[in-house]
Amino acid sequence: MLMTRGVSDVFLAVSASASSRSPAPPALATGRRLFSALLPPSSSLSSSNRHFGPRRRLGRWSSTMAARAAAQRLENVDELIDSVETFLFDCDGVIWKGDKLIDGVPGTLDMLRSKGKRLVFVTNNSTKSRKQYGKKFETLGLSVTEEEIFASSFAAAAYLRSIDFPKDKKVYVIGEDGILKELELAGYQYLGGPEDGDKKIELKPGFLMEHDHNVGAVVVGFDRYFNYYKVQYGTLCIRENPGCIFIATNRDAVTHLTDAQEWAGGGSMVGAICGSTQREPLVVGKPSTFMMDYLANKFGILKSQICMVGDRLDTDILFGQNGGCKTLLVLSGVTSLQMLQSPSNSIQPDFYTNKISDLVTLKAAAV
């Protein structure tokens, strides 16, 4: 079983140092303490509209990041590799695009492993469980274990474990199979998911939609079967069930369903629920440091010895910077060089390069 009691212990230890706040339902109060370190000291957590997602942190970080030096093009590969114990890789746009492996990835991963580096794959995509992602890596010819994979579907279940979410409560899922499988592994009751994709609301005069009052959390992730039924059901749970927690796996604007173009991401589903509930979610995926804290504790590594490699500035790079890690932006996915160097961009990675195989080619060129 992938989910163990140890997950709860790790995150309770992380959140134990947070200061006491105003009274709130036990699970929600614990969740707030866990994320309080991401908010400015003057922030009050009493508001039901407190934002835990990227927009809140982007507002905070924009003033501090503006003073950062412009990102350097990666040249001294050996210096970077020697200073890092663990490489965290985003998947979409870094390892693959859609179902197509990006050129040079296998050789790069093999080179890093030969140097004794720990490799961990951190993805905001919640459509698959860790086990399912393991099969995708295998299909693409990459040897990666489940212990090296951390998807936001896993993070959602891990968060619930960390706050001792009651097992007699239910979770309503707006998302796909990955979230359901991770919740099942964690021992939680759930409803919703893909099977609600075919449900419709027949609006008649006086129609009242019923919902389960025992739902204690709504988890929203990327959902190709998103519809009005799910919006209304999730809205009712969050607005009418006392203490119901609103969790987002991520707020990515776009994703790579195919390698031909960008597609609307999980942030579009989360945004719909934000609009209807006037509530902001607890975000467990990047750029929240939730998964970073877990990884640092699980493997016993210093964050200063981690390098986050990703293709998105506002999730991957911000995730690394929020966690105090080195950051490497690759231009093989969402972010272009023009976007990186735009005067309006305040998020600057330590280094940037075209794709991760540059770790091999640049190293060879320097010999």
Residue 4: the pLDDT is 37
Q: How confident is the model over 153-166, as pLDDT tens digits?
A: 999 999 999 999 99
Q: Which residue, 282, 295, 243, is CA-closest to 31?
A: 282
Catalytic residue check, 147: no
Average of per-residue pLDDT across 29-41: 38
Instruction: State the distance between the two ends of the chain, measured CA to CA, in whole angstroms.
Output: 46
Average of per-residue pLDDT across 13-28: 38
Block residue for tokens 């607005």: 239
Minimum mean pLDDT range among 158-162, 214-218, 293-297: 293-297
Residue 199: the pLDDT is 96
Minimum mean pLDDT range among 63-67, 131-135, 229-233: 63-67
Residue 240, pLDDT > 60, answer: yes
Question: What integer best gives the mean pLDDT of the chain?
Answer: 84
Minimum mean pLDDT range among 127-136, 231-240, 259-268, 327-336: 259-268
Confidence of residue 367 (pLDDT cuts 50, 70, 90): low
Confidence of residue 98 (pLDDT cuts 50, 70, 90): confident
Q: Are 129 and 153 in contact (CB under 8 A)?
A: yes
Average of per-residue pLDDT across 214-226: 97
Minimum mean pLDDT range among 37-51, 76-90, 194-208, 222-236: 37-51
Q: What is the 3-class SS of the chain, one letter each residue? A: CCCCHHHHHHHHHHHCCCCCCCCCCHHHHHHHHHHHHHCCCCCCCCCCCCCCCHHHHHHHHHHHHCCCCCCEECCCHHHHHHCCCEEEECCECCCEECCEECCCHHHHHHHHHHCCCEEEEEECCCCCCHHHHHHHHHHCCCCCCHHHEEEHHHHHHHHHHHCCCCCCCEEEEECCHHHHHHHHHHCCEEEEHHHHHHCCCCCCCCCCCCCCCCEEEEEECCCCCCCHHHHHHHHHHHHHCCCCEEEECCCCCEECCCCCCCEECHHHHHHHHHHHHCCCCEECCCCCCHHHHHHHHHHCCCHHHEEEEECCHHHHHHHHHHCCCEEEEECCCCCCHHHHCCCCCCCCCCEEECCCCHHHHHHHHHC
Residue 346, pLDDT > 90, answer: yes
Q: How confident is the model over 248-265, as pLDDT tens digits?
A: 999 998 887 877 888 999
Q: How confident is the model over 176-200, as pLDDT tens digits?
A: 999 999 999 999 999 999 999 999 9
Residue 328, pLDDT > 80, answer: yes
Block residue for tokens 């929203």: 220
Q: Which residue, 305, 281, 282, is CA-closest to 292?
A: 305
Distance CA(140)–CA(97), nearest Å, equals 11
Distance of CA 195 to the CA centre of its chain: 24
Residue 37, pLDDT > 70, answer: no
Confidence of residue 99 (pLDDT cuts 50, 70, 90): confident
> Which of 75, 79, 85, 262 does the annotation list as catalytic?
85
Distance CA(2)–CA(329), nearest Å, equals 30
Residue 224: the pLDDT is 96
Block residue for tokens 């097992």: 167
Phi, psi of 141 (to 5 degrees): 85, 20
Percent of the chain with pLDDT over 70: 80
